Amino acid sequence: MTEQWSEGYITGVPYTYGYYNELSPAWMRFCLLMRRFTPPPAQDYAYCELGFGQGLSLNMHAAAGAGAFHGTDFTPEHAAFAANLAGKSGGACNIYDDSFEEFLERDLPAFDYIGMHGVWSWVSDDNRRHIVDFVKKNLKAGGVFYVSYNSMPGWGAAGPLGRLLALHERIAPHTSHAARTRDALAFCDSLFEAGPAYLQSATGLRERLENLKKHSPDYIAHEYFNSNWDTMYFVDVADRLAQAKLRFAASAVPSGNISGFGLTDRAREFLSGIEDTVMYRQMQDYFENTQFHKDLYVRGGVALTPQRQRELFLRERFVLLRHPDDIAYTMNMGMGSITLDKDVYKPVVAALAAEEFAPKPLSAIGEAGGLTRGLPDLLGAIANLITLGAVSPCQPEEVARQNRSRTRACNAALDEMTLAGHFFVSPVTGGGVSVSRLDQLFLAAPLSEGGDAVKHALEKLARNGEKLLAEGRPVEDEQQAARMMEETYAEFRDKRLPLLKALDIV
């Protein structure tokens, strides 16, 4: 049943426990620096997240960061979960369950950062107006706004499929959301079987439906069952945000800020004739058939001189998130897949891996990594490694040191509260790091005694009624389970544990 306060947004279905690094101050700063904008401060800032879901991102950033954090989500279960986590981690985190309209009336500080992930496309147009008004009222001059949304033309072909799922909600009986998800997918299947001309309008629609079936019912419900589900053109979002005196500054996907990267020569040639930034990005969307935008907008962003940009960058620190053996040097871009030049990337990764993976300033990475081609190449490599999830920008060293105990408390609370979530916060990066369920169990065991960690993890799984999976099936044989656990532990000890230590999670 739609409750009045929810304004067509699906409620009563717990949202997934996700972490989004684009919302992290260090990440936003890196992307802005790439495009030569003066970033907001790295400490003593005010930060706000709108529609925070279960609030993992907000809480991790508040535990690790040096600022005042605020956020709202009108689903009271979400706000309660997030407030509980905040209480346990002890960060300066103020949680509200206001609607965007109500939040507009609150007396809040002027923010350096406002972020919002996975919200813009899923709320009514009235709510988008409240969001623009909120940013207009509360973002400082020089501040940054992060927004993500489903975009056109990438959703052009499959947009009607998304609408179909939402339409099914109108006729679905009020059963459990799991049953409604199953019925909605079956409804799409039966429509496709009946041969609508729509199916011939684009390739890959059946595959897309099959892929959807692999997601959890909770995800599908939140993604598609809202009465608001919109896809927008980049140019229309830029126009709406201009009303809050915002202008597009950078992509929140670091590789998206490397001029021409991922485009064919003909696409680059076409785009080279376009000077207007908004028009350029919109045309780029046609080439890449962009489906999801992650963008950073600034209010009065001040441009840096190339010299100042260089100085600031050389001081920024970076850290590996993935063991060098586990980095795949391939990127899937809108116009096809790209294999990265290992001669450029491997020395950079080796420099980052030196001294037991300790975080390092770009200046040191450049020297050790044989920086012969200059800063743009090194930055391009770092940006692509960040996009691949292999590297992270860091927050200032003194902030990492100050907030260590808060991140420890936050991780203990995450471990206890989110069986479904697999993220811990690092004081080094100031953001979340994905940690698999098994690695989480090893971390909770006495690490000095290898054998015990395996035993501990097996016992804990048994106590929780969880099973290891092999080829998607639960492993019933105890000996096979023990062997699998031994192998996973050895990989964890040799590859992931040293990284977790460098990230100061252990």
Ligand X SMILES: C[S@@+](CC[C@H](N)C(=O)[O-])C[C@H]1O[C@@H](n2cnc3c(N)ncnc32)[C@H](O)[C@@H]1O
Binding site for ligand X (CB under 6 A): 7, 9, 15, 18, 20, 51-53, 72-75, 78, 99-100, 117-119, 122-123, 127, 222
Q: How far is CA 184 from the centre of its chain?
A: 27
* Nearer to ligand X (CB atom), residue 96 or residue 357: 96
How far apart, in whole angstroms, are the C-alpha atoms of residue 390 and residue 349? 9
Least distance between ligand X and beta carbon 447 (Å): 31
Torsion of CA 77, 80, 84, 87, to 10 degrees: 160
Least distance between ligand X and beta carbon 393 (Å): 21
Least distance between ligand X and beta carbon 375 (Å): 34
Tokens of 474: 């639960």
* Nearer to ligand X (CB atom), residue 241 or residue 378: 241
* Nearer to ligand X (CB atom), residue 263 or residue 435: 435
CB atoms inside a 10 Å sphere around CB 467: 13
* In the block, residue with structure tokens 């597009």: 248
* In the block, residue with structure tokens 């040293």: 498
* Nearer to ligand X (CB atom), residue 119 or residue 383: 119
- Cross-strand pairs, 339: 330
* Nearer to ligand X (CB atom), residue 15 or residue 45: 15
106: exposed, middle or buried (Cβ count in 10 Å: 0-12, 13-18, 19+): middle
Q: Are 115 and 431 in contact (CB under 8 A)?
A: no
Least distance between ligand X and beta carbon 425 (Å): 16
Least distance between ligand X and beta carbon 57 (Å): 7
Helix (H) or strand (E) holding 181: helix 177-193
* Nearer to ligand X (CB atom), residue 60 or residue 502: 60
* Nearer to ligand X (CB atom), residue 73 or residue 288: 73
Least distance between ligand X and beta carbon 178 (Å): 18
Torsion of CA 390, 396, 402, 407, to 10 degrees: -20
Least distance between ligand X and beta carbon 294 (Å): 11
CB atoms inside a 10 Å sphere around CB 400: 22
- Cross-strand pairs, 292: 150
